[in-house]
Copies of this chain bind each other. A is one copy, B any other.
Amino acid sequence: MSFGRATSVHSSDGRTWTGAIEPDWDIFENANGGYMMAIAARAMSGAADDRLPVSVTAHFTRPGKAGPVSIATEVVRAGRTFSTVRADLSSEAGVVLAMLGTFAEAGRSPGDTLLVDSEIPDVPPPDDCVPALPAVDGPLPPPLMGKVEERIHPDDAGALLGKPTGRPRMRGWIRLRDGEAMTPFVLLLVADAFPPAIFNTFLPLAWTPTLEMTTHIRATQVEGWLRCQFTTRFISGGYLEEDGEIWDESGRLVAQSRQIALIPR
């Protein structure tokens, strides 16, 4: 099932939406957080006259399991250019994620690149990277890897091979399978679809419960391979963050992300 279908939502009143967490978008049997954010964001966008996501935050309250979900949306404010929208995505068990987002008029000009005080992440071409494929048996790599085409930088692929590099970093390429066209909503998935950067540390390869994730989206269209970099700089005070950058093939930053998670045991 395509990403587009697996994130589709329906509503009769423009406020309450129905959809489903489809199977095989999971890791350790919990649905991928970015995938669930994309489902909810599509409902939020629908509630906001199809405005497009600029900044979307999710707080995770329960693991998501495959099955039907409902998304209750509320437009906090609809301005001339931006709408602020909140949503709860709920399963039978209760609220799975609470969301808050700002959405922009689709026709808004994306704007030029005025200043970049950063380097494009250094990643060899996709064919020189290590493909991440779902495990034939066992939990890792997760079933989600069957839904996207993902190539990991050889220098960061130690995590996949049982030989962590010691440096919490994960770089690589990603795109949807079968040449599926990509909407900005896919960036919410992409920001959460790589192996955690901390898999390259001494920490156990275990479920890393994310408390909160925010993704900023600067593109209204995306295509081709997306060049990604994820880093964790601080494992301290009980928490760890992961920062993501997503670039397109033309060398344009299309999204940034940050999540805060509990340290896995």
Residues of A at under 8 Å CB distance from B? 54-55, 57, 59, 61-62, 76-77, 79, 82, 84, 86, 88, 94-95, 98-102, 108-118, 167-168, 201, 203, 211-212, 214, 216, 218-219, 231-239, 241, 252-254, 256, 258, 260, 263
Contacts and interface: CB of A to CB of B under 8 A. Distances in A.
A184 to B, nearest CB: 11
A153 B151 CA distance: 42
B101 A59 contact: yes
B211 A239 contact: no
Given A98-B100, A113-B236, 16 more contacts: A54-B212, A55-B211, A57-B100, A77-B95, A86-B100, A111-B236, A116-B233, A117-B232, A117-B234, A216-B241, A216-B258, A216-B260, A218-B237, A218-B238, A219-B237, A241-B256
A108 B238 contact: yes
A102 B236 contact: no
A101 B50 CA distance: 26
Contacts of A112: 236
Nearest to A256: B241
Contacts of A77: 61-62, 94-95, 98
Contacts of A218: 234, 236-239
Copies of this chain, whole number:
2
Of A110, A167, A260, chain B has the most CB atoms within 10 Å of the CB of: A260
5 contacts: A112-B236, A113-B237, A117-B234, A234-B256, A236-B253
Contacts of A118: 233-234
B238 A111 contact: yes
What 5 A-B pairs come out closest when comparing CB atoms? Answer: A218-B237, A111-B238, A113-B236, A55-B212, A115-B235
